[in-house]
């Protein structure tokens, strides 16, 4: 009974504390977007309902303290079963979409009846298994954070609670004459691409702004949100990344997330660095098979910086380097915008988008909003950040820090880019 009360009260206190400090949260929808409400009021994501549902799932797991009653080898099996099941779900959903897309199928409802029944069964099984898999992954990340001394009073605070689900899309707004994210509004998940395009064009025509609706990989509310995927290393990376946002929310760096584009980039780059390093710790300890033959390739998290290539795509002998090409594109766009050549910059971005398409990288729209969003994740050199000095400065502080904890415990007190420069210089 004492374990029951401890875990129940621990989670309740976490929810209360996080709710208080995330009032103007680093990643929650911006409340100052009245001029955009005419475009988004009917399609904005319901965070309250999602959070209540996720919180209830986590409270149920906390009351039974499930990970502590599962043998270590069984925990690994649960995680493997979950990702195998997710693969079946995602493939079945893809099959269903193909049936409703195929013009040669006269009655898609009748044709898909068996498949829809199978999907319902898979959803029910996933509903039962997912909370246990999430608890195991949370526990493994908790141990990794503690091993790296990212703790408060000996424990990671808050506890890295994470819930996997279909995530909202984000509407990103940037001026057309400069690359800068001014708004980020969370919208319903998976609404049709034609409607996405229509909203973007309306905002550009009516307000003379650059707009883009993009998927996100995670959101740092509490419990944090993560998208459905079959990629275990990516999931571990995301859990630690989103936990970092919640941890920073207790400190000046997190408080100032929305104070400037530079502070947003610092926050996202720090979270990406922590996510990448902690995921490696978990993989080495619990899933060494993922590291056989060397470290896994790094993947971007919230920003899906490198679109996946089509199945069966064969690269040329001299492969197309996406990050290099995107970096060069950003540099030239910045030059054109600095000269006031907005239309020329936009025509150039479309030209480059088509080149990337021909080389196997499917980007729906390449504009100022795209670079404003993706350029904030600067834990790796190159890519959409261009010559923005913020990311390299954060990476320089990490390089001169004795440990990951030293890096985080130093940078979390930063409230401006100038303060970060002073630390590095």
The answer to whether the bond into 126 is cis (omega within 30° of 0) is no
pLDDT at site 194: 81
C-beta atoms surrounding 246 within 10 Å:
29
234 lies in some domain: yes
26 lies in some domain: yes
pLDDT band at 42 (very low <50, low <70, confident <90, very high): confident
Give this prediction's pTM.
Answer: 0.80
User: 155, 156, 182, 160: which is closest to 171 by C-alpha?
Assistant: 182
Q: What is the mean predicted confidence (pLDDT) over 404-411?
A: 97
Q: Round to whole Å and give the CA distance between 35 and 284.
A: 48
Helix (H) or strand (E) holding 119: helix 113-147
Mean pLDDT of the chain: 83
pLDDT at site 398: 97
Express each pLDDT in 285-337 by its tens digit. Answer: 999 988 865 444 443 333 334 444 444 444 454 578 899 999 999 999 999 99
Count of structural domains within the chain: 1
pLDDT at site 217: 81
Token readout for 397 is 């502080």
Q: What is the mean predicted confidence (pLDDT) over 248-266?
A: 93
Q: What is the mean predicted confidence (pLDDT) over 392-401?
A: 96
Q: What is the largest CA-CA distance in the chain?
A: 69
Token readout for 18 is 């996080």
Query: Is the model's pLDDT at 2 over the cut of 60?
Result: no
Q: What is the mean predicted confidence (pLDDT) over 15-44?
A: 58
pLDDT at site 31: 45
Cβ proximity of 168 and 45 under 8 Å:
yes
202 lies in some domain: no
User: 161, 193, 179: which is closest to 326 by C-alpha?
Assistant: 179
DSSP alpha helices (H): ranges in 212-260? 232-248, 252-255
Residue 326: alpha-carbon gap to chain centroid: 20
Cβ proximity of 386 and 323 under 8 Å:
no
Query: Is the model's pLDDT at 339 over the cut of 90?
Result: yes
Q: What is the mean predicted confidence (pLDDT) over 359-371?
A: 91
pLDDT at site 318: 53
247 lies in some domain: yes
C-beta atoms surrounding 34 within 10 Å:
8
In percent, the amount of the chain with pLDDT more than 90 equals 51
93 lies in some domain: yes
In percent, the amount of the chain with pLDDT more than 70 equals 83
The answer to whether the bond into 158 is cis (omega within 30° of 0) is yes
63 lies in some domain: yes
Residue 13: alpha-carbon gap to chain centroid: 25
Q: What is the mean predicted confidence (pLDDT) over 113-128?
A: 92
285 lies in some domain: yes
Range 186-193 contact pairs with CB under 8 angstroms and sequence separation of 24 or more = 186/28, 186/29, 186/44, 186/45, 186/47, 186/216, 186/219, 187/40, 187/43, 187/44, 187/45, 187/213, 188/43, 188/44, 188/45, 189/45, 190/166, 191/43, 193/364
Give the structural domain span for 75: 2-168+216-291
Contacts of 423 by beta carbon, 8 Å cutoff, 6+ apart: 397, 410, 411, 414
304 lies in some domain: no
pLDDT at site 4: 44
Cβ proximity of 29 and 185 under 8 Å:
yes
Q: What is the mean predicted confidence (pLDDT) over 219-248?
A: 91
Greater confidence (229 vs 192) lies with: 229
């Amino acid at each position: 009974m004492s374990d029951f009360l401890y875990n129940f009260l621990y989670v309740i206190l976490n929810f209360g504390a996080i709710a208080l400090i995330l009032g103007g949260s680093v990643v929650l929808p911006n409340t100052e977007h009245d001029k955009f409400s005419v475009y988004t009021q009917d399609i904005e994501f319901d965070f309250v309902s999602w959070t209540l549902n996720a919180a209830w799932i986590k409270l149920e797991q906390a009351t039974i303290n499930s990970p502590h009653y599962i043998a270590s080898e069984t925990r690994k099996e649960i995680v493997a079963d979950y990702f195998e099941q997710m693969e079946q779900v995602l493939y079945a959903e893809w099959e269903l979409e193909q049936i409703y897309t195929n013009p040669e199928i006269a009655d898609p409802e009748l044709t898909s009846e068996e498949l829809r029944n199978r999907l319902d069964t898979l959803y029910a099984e996933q509903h039962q298994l997912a909370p246990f898999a999430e608890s195991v992954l949370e526990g493994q990340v908790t141990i990794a954070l503690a091993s790296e001394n990212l703790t408060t009073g000996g424990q990671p605070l808050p506890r890295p609670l994470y819930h996997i689900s279909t995530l909202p899309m984000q509407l990103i707004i940037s001026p057309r004459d400069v690359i800068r994210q001014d708004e980020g509004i969370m919208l319903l998940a998976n609404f049709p691409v034609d409607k996405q395009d229509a909203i973007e064009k309306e905002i550009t025509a009516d307000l003379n702004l650059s707009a883009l609706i993009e998927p996100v990989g995670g959101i740092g509310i509490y419990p944090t949100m993560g998208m459905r995927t079959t990629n275990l290393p990516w999931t571990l990376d995301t859990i630690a990344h989103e936990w970092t946002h919640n941890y920073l929310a207790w400190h000046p760096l997190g408080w100032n997330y929305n104070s400037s584009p530079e502070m947003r980039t610092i926050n996202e780059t720090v979270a990406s660095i922590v996510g990448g390093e902690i995921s490696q710790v978990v993989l080495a300890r619990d899933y060494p098979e993922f590291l056989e033959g060397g470290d896994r390739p790094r993947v971007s998290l919230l920003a899906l910086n490198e679109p996946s290539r089509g199945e069966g795509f064969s690269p040329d002998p001299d492969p197309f380097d996406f990050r290099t090409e995107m970096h060069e594109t950003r540099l030239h766009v910045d030059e054109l915008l600095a000269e006031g050549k907005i239309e020329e910059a936009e025509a150039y971005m479309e030209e480059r988008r088509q080149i990337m398409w021909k080389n196997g990288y499917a980007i729906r729209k390449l504009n100022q909003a795209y670079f404003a969003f993706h350029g904030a994740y600067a834990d790796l050199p190159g890519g959409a950040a261009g010559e923005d000095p913020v990311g390299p400065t954060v990476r320089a502080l990490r390089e001169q820090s004795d440990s990951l904890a030293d890096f985080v415990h130093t940078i979390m007190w930063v409230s401006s880019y100038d303060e970060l420069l002073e630390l590095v210089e």
